[in-house]
Amino acid sequence: MSNNDEIYDAEVISESVDGEVLEEPSDYWKLVAFHLSNNHEPPVPISMTDVCIKAIEYANKGDWKVLLALPDGTTYKGSTHAEVETIVESHHLHQFVTADRDIVTITDGDGKVIYQGYGTELKLETQEVNEEIEINDDEQ
């Protein structure tokens, strides 16, 4: 979407088929739903909106390891639940989290950012290289 595109609010249906009055989604719900639908490729299903809002609420309380149930038919690594931290990270919800938490940034040797996010525990594994180099006196 370019900066010149205008965003229009979608019409919200306020009555169900049987005439029952439905609750209109809050502006906050609409904002999160918009983020999930428009800032991801492919778009995140709208059914994840409520779970993402719960994840934001727990993250703002500092409860990053709480497991949240995912919507029917949705799994994460074969599980029907995911940690708050995983949901915030994978759905790029950082701008909605207001709790103080250090953002971990890892850069490569050229200064290119290779990871940025909320890491509670960060382990970098390195391998020592012990290569013996044969020097042939004839080649020198």
Please state the domain extents for the chain. Answer: 27-117
The pLDDT profile of the chain, 140 residues, written as one tens digit per residue, is 344 444 444 444 445 556 565 667 788 899 999 999 998 888 999 999 999 999 999 998 889 899 999 999 999 999 999 999 999 999 999 888 887 666 667 778 888 877 666 554 445 555 555 556 566 666 55
Tokens at 42, concatenated: 């492919």
Number of residues in the chain = 140
Q: How far is CA 120 from CA 41, 101, 108, in A?
A: 27, 9, 20
CB 82 within 8 A of CB 65: no
Q: How far is CA 133 from CA 7, 11, 126, 130, 136, in A?
A: 63, 71, 21, 9, 10
- With a threshold of 0.85, does the pTM exceed it? no
